[in-house]
A and B are shown apart, each in its own frame.
Chain A
Amino acid sequence: MRFDVILDSFMSAPDMVRLGKLAEEYGLGGVWIANNFNTRDAFVNFVPLAMETGELRMGPIAVSPFELHPQKIAHSLLTLNEIADGRAQIVVGGGGGTAENIGHKPHRMVRAVRECVEVLNQAIAGKPGGYHGEMYQVGWLDVSWARQPAPLIYVGANGPQMLKAASRYAPAIMTSDFTPDRIRWAHEIIDDGLRERDCDPATFPLNNFWAWHVQHSREEAHREARIYLAVRGTIYADYIRDVVDDGEAAIVTAHENAFMKAYMQKSPDIEGVPDEILTKIVDGGVSASPLSEIDREIERMQAFKDAGLTEIALCVYSDPERAIRTIGEHLVPALG
């Protein structure tokens, strides 16, 4: 099982170099940066790290064709891939964040992502030509300068429609905040599509964005995890029953605004939601164990692996250096 880390979007290039090199030393597979409208351009910001490492993969998560034309994505990705000697990676998503901040409303997301990945695949195949999709056109695509091993292209997919579609064309898939049971559910959706194109579901690259809040104490870990629950898919209607029962789910759904308020204020206090429910969400929906109970997280990673996850991207928050060391010293030797 491959372990990646997702670093803070606001991180500077020198900090990324420092942490990326550490991740490489510990045998982690890759580093991701969440694509954010208020941050450095993720492709440019990876360049110093690409030059300072030799094995580590790197790339943004997730870039949407609603914010950047697929041909521009292809050129940025392949230029980073050239600098990194074939170690670039990307998650293509149908959202969301940046698109909204530039006034673009995503629509026909499944189609848009498919066309975007088709453009990327065509570029990687190296055959010059045009692309005439329903949503995106490329007059002439010729990246004959791109001669490195192909970058890894993931489709960011959580819903059944996107998962099913991605299974038919995506080189790799990344889900987010899926529990091990939810990973089994995803496999039920994608496996037929994978087999149709002769991909073995057991080895197909399936990654999962997963929040990592392991700290010295359980209290510290839970406090940090609670702050970020608003940006976990887990608390929303389609997924909340993965970690709590129906009655508890109704309470969570009724208080979604309280989660967002806590996130905006960087507070662990979520008004109106009982502690025992929050504890269940955190225990089931993220990794928030104390260091002394790291075996619990190793068991969770084993459960992910058993469910069919081939890699996991652990989103680290406070003290990313310690998080990388913990992952490198405990998870990688046990499951890597």
Chain B
Amino acid sequence: MDIDIILNEFTSPREAVELGLMAERYGMRGVWSSNYGWSRDSFMTLSLLADRSSRIRMGPMAISAEELHPLKMANLLFSLNELSGGRAMIMVGGGGAVLQSIGKERRRMIRSVRECLQILKGASPEKTLNYDGDMYKVWGYKPAYATDEPPLIYYGANHPQSRRLAAELADGVITSDFVVPLMKEFVDATRADLAAAGRSDADYRISNFWAWHIKQDAEASMREARRELMLRGWLGEQYFAPFLEPDEVTFMRDHEQDFLNAFLRGTHEIENVPETLVDKMVENISFVGGLDRIDEAIETLRAFEDAGLTEIALRVHDDPADAVRLIGEHIVPALKN
């Protein structure tokens, strides 16, 4: 199983070069840039790395067609792909916080992504693309410069309908915050979707966004994980039900605002929620703790690999260079063996 790193939303293009080259030296497969309403342009963030690296893949995560028209997305993606000599990738999403930040709302998400994937996969330097979709139009598009190995196009999909769409049109799928039992079910269903779509699963990529908080300082790790907990599956029931008791799930849902407050205030203190519950949540839905938790993380990653992941995307947070170093020194060699 390959290892990717997801950079945090504050990463500058120069920091992305440092972190990306470090990840490349450690033998990681790819680097993702986070697309947030307040972050730098996520394609541009990786453009220096594209120019200066030689093996590692790179791409933005997640971009929705409602924030960026598929033709503009294609030109950004193909430009990054050319700069990197055919190592670009992208995760298309249905749109979330970025859409809100530009005053738009998510609409007809599956249709929107379907048309976006069709345009991205249909664009070619050899044949003019005319696309008359319900939501997006493209007239006379023929990017003659896009002659490199095509970029990998993923769809960020956690639900059956989007999973099926990914299997039909994308090069791969990326779930987020799926624990191992959920992942097993998802991979099995994906293989069935691929078969139904007449595709082989041999070259289909399946990844999972997973939060990495392990640090030398175990307490700092816990603080970071608690602060970010709201973002883990947006506290969706399906993500936590595999390891929480039903009454704990209900309690968590009832206190969503408390988790959100902690995230928005940048604090690890989640009011009105017992610490024991918070700890149970972060320990099951992310990698957290001191260096003594690395072996356990490796076991979990092996379980993900056994479940059928071809790669995993580890989201690093504060002190990203330390995180990349830990992952590079401990995780990459362990999974290669």
Does B277 interact with chain A (Cβ within 8 Å)?
Answer: no
Residue-wise interface mask of A (136-151) relative to B, using a CB-CB cutoff of 8 A (1 in contact, 0 not): 1111111111000000
Does A100 interact with chain B (Cβ within 8 Å)?
Answer: yes
Q: Verify A102–B69 contact, CB threshold 8 A.
A: yes
Q: Verify A51–B48 contact, CB threshold 8 A.
A: yes
Does B198 interact with chain A (Cβ within 8 Å)?
Answer: no
Specify which of B40, B43, B103 is in contact with A139 (CB 8 Å cutoff): B103
Closest chain A CB from B225 CB (angstroms): 24
Does A13 interact with chain B (Cβ within 8 Å)?
Answer: yes
Specify which of A12, A39, A67, A76 is in contact with B41 (CB 8 Å cutoff): A76
Interfacial residues, chain B to chain A (CB-CB below 8 A) = 10, 12-14, 37-41, 43-45, 47-48, 51, 67-69, 71-72, 75-76, 78-80, 82-83, 100-104, 136-145
Name A73's closest neighbour in chain B (CB-CB): B41
Closest chain A CB from B31 CB (angstroms): 16
* Cα distance, A144 to B10, chains bound together (Å): 10
Q: Verify B76–A83 contact, CB threshold 8 A.
A: no
Chain A residues with Cβ below 8 Å from B45 are 79
Q: Verify B78–A68 contact, CB threshold 8 A.
A: no
Q: Verify A101–B44 contact, CB threshold 8 A.
A: no
Q: Verify B140–A69 contact, CB threshold 8 A.
A: no
* Cα distance, A208 to B104, chains bound together (Å): 35
Q: Verify B76–A41 contact, CB threshold 8 A.
A: yes
* Cα distance, A234 to B37, chains bound together (Å): 41
Q: Verify B141–A37 contact, CB threshold 8 A.
A: yes
**Among residues 46 to 95 in chain A, which have CB atoms less than 8 Å away from a CB atom of chain B?**
47-48, 51, 67-69, 71-72, 75-76, 78-80, 82-83
Chain B residues with Cβ below 8 Å from A43 are 41, 43-44
Chain B residues with Cβ below 8 Å from A185 are none
Q: Verify A45–B44 contact, CB threshold 8 A.
A: no
Does A103 interact with chain B (Cβ within 8 Å)?
Answer: yes
Contact A48/B75 with A75-B41, A136-B103, A138-B103 known, Cβ cut-off 8 Å? no
Does A40 interact with chain B (Cβ within 8 Å)?
Answer: yes
* Cα distance, A71 to B104, chains bound together (Å): 12
* Cα distance, A51 to B17, chains bound together (Å): 13
A-B contact list, 22 entries, CB within 8 Å: A10-B145, A12-B145, A38-B142, A39-B145, A41-B43, A43-B41, A44-B44, A44-B47, A44-B79, A44-B83, A69-B102, A75-B39, A79-B41, A82-B12, A101-B138, A101-B139, A102-B72, A139-B101, A139-B102, A142-B38, A144-B38, A145-B10
* Cα distance, A230 to B326, chains bound together (Å): 60
Q: Verify B136–A103 contact, CB threshold 8 A.
A: yes
Closest chain B CB from A219 CB (angstroms): 30
Specify which of B13, B38, B80 is in contact with A82 (CB 8 Å cutoff): B13
Q: Verify B67–A72 contact, CB threshold 8 A.
A: yes
Interface centre among B40, B138, B143 (most CB of A within 10 A): B40
Q: Verify A101–B40 contact, CB threshold 8 A.
A: no
Chain B residues with Cβ below 8 Å from A68 are 68-69, 72
Closest chain A CB from B132 CB (angstroms): 8
* Cα distance, A153 to B246, chains bound together (Å): 56
